[in-house]
A and B are shown apart, each in its own frame.
Chain A
């Protein structure tokens, strides 16, 4: 399965991903129209920082997803690509998904009274956040490729 992979060592904390996420989930889908929308469109990922690490925190679309398991209204489901998505009309705003997400990436749309989470930009070839990242700190990768690449890097470092 393809996943959005974060490389914290490349993240500058510029929040371009946050902006493009909010724009992608706005009515007009452009930065200028999004700025004028009221209520403002919501982002689905969050750039957070400690003294030593900066990175966007985003939905993992967990294989055994706590949010989906705990949903008491049949709103959350796994689509054919393995993305954990939402049937908006089923959300009752009980916030159980927020209570159980260990990453803290489900949020509350106060105006629409809906739980909001990453939909993996399922209509786009490349998710908006990945597309916007100027340093390629966010990439779409096949999960099987990640350990392979790490092994290669270790070997390269060892052998020069």
Chain B
């Protein structure tokens, strides 16, 4: 059996592990443009040397341990009839089972001058920003998401003057609700990051950006961090069914035989929103890769769906976990504040569909599991609201 995986990040790595568990003999070929395998969520930490060059890579050499043949190239076309890939080098690559795991590419605003700006998606991007930051004193970051905020924190530590520009009235939408986002904004503003909301740029200039208000903000380094879109351009003529992203069934099989997809390139059912969504999250890609890899190697593993919001991090001393439909203001909502923390639970009927924990994170995983499984809460809802829920509540009575 010849497995070909297009993409060398976590969905591909996770699939490789699952393939090897089920098929120790088959040939695994991976096509990637990047140096495998590194922890993509950590790339902002490269900018200010918070982690070492070495620590960004997987501690285990899975290329060796899993016997992967690595091809440093880019897939440019797919023929699902002939079961063949065309690579940028002109080489062709045949497969028995294919995994599309090409991830996503940065979204760019539709304004002139974006070629003068940086994006932060790959390790190479992070190195470029680090280099540019060395000679810079002012930076503008477009986009108040986690990537933008992490980059802001790193650049601030390097002594740059940092301004974040966010189109919406709040930062971190939809990963946080208004109130919790305001808490984060306060933290980063106190540290010295400028945040301008309800504003966007009209052009990237040689020495800054111009805003819709007409103002110009001077900057020697402009970073565009407004999000990502699935990397599906190369599949245009493949006949593969795509909508927002590659369409897959619940076993992560695409519309073509023996062709699977996983990670950011896929749209899968959101477990609480009950509509197809694109993940863009590491944690989801791990699970998808595992299911796809198992199925490619002849197993049968259903992928139940993803959570569009499944984020944990710490920003300027404020630890947070955010899961599910947290920005949903329509449902039944419980909010608790105090001690610099914040706790929000969003219910739909007898189910928990979203939760934010800020400050105190203990037992947050129990709630995540609840949201994932959409288990009816029954008489545990009160305990969840009081915050006294623990795993012992799920034990049968003695």
Contact A104 B398 (CB under 8 A): no
Range class of the B interface residue count = 35 or more
Within 8 A of A (CB), among B42-67: 42, 45, 50-51, 55, 57-60
* A/B pair count, beta carbons within 8 Å: 113
B282 lies within 8 A of chain A by Cβ: yes
Which of A69, A105, A108 is in CB contact (< 8 Å) with B287? A69
A107 lies within 8 A of chain B by Cβ: yes
Residue-wise interface mask of A (13-57) relative to B, using a CB-CB cutoff of 8 A (1 in contact, 0 not): 000000000000000000000000000000000101110111101
B residues near A101, Cβ cutoff 8 Å: 365
Within 8 A of A (CB), among B284-338: 286-287, 290, 310-314, 319-321, 323
Residue-wise interface mask of A (88-109) relative to B, using a CB-CB cutoff of 8 A (1 in contact, 0 not): 0110111110111111111110
Contact B368 A57 (CB under 8 A): no
Bound-complex Cα distance A98 to B366 (A): 9
Bound-complex Cα distance A70 to B286 (A): 7
Bound-complex Cα distance A97 to B282 (A): 13
B residues near A55, Cβ cutoff 8 Å: 392, 395
B190 lies within 8 A of chain A by Cβ: no
Contact A72 B59 (CB under 8 A): no
Contact A104 B39 (CB under 8 A): no
- Chain B facing A: main interface SS: mixed
The number of chain A residues with a CB under 8 A from chain B is 37
Within 8 A of B (CB), among A102-132: 102-108
Which of A48, A89, A90, A95 is in CB contact (< 8 Å) with B312? A95
Which of B45, B311, B365 is in CB contact (< 8 Å) with A98? B365
Residue ranges of B at the interface with A (Cβ–Cβ < 8 Å) = 39, 41-42, 45, 50-51, 55, 57-60, 282-283, 286-287, 290, 310-314, 319-321, 323, 361-366, 368-369, 390-393, 395-398
Residue ranges of A at the interface with B (Cβ–Cβ < 8 Å) = 8-9, 46, 48-50, 52-55, 57, 66, 69-70, 72-74, 77, 87, 89-90, 92-96, 98-108
Given contacts A93-B319, A98-B362, A102-B368, 18 further A-B contacts (CB under 8 A): A8-B398, A48-B390, A53-B398, A55-B392, A55-B395, A69-B287, A69-B290, A70-B282, A72-B41, A72-B283, A73-B41, A92-B50, A95-B312, A100-B369, A103-B366, A104-B363, A107-B362, A108-B361
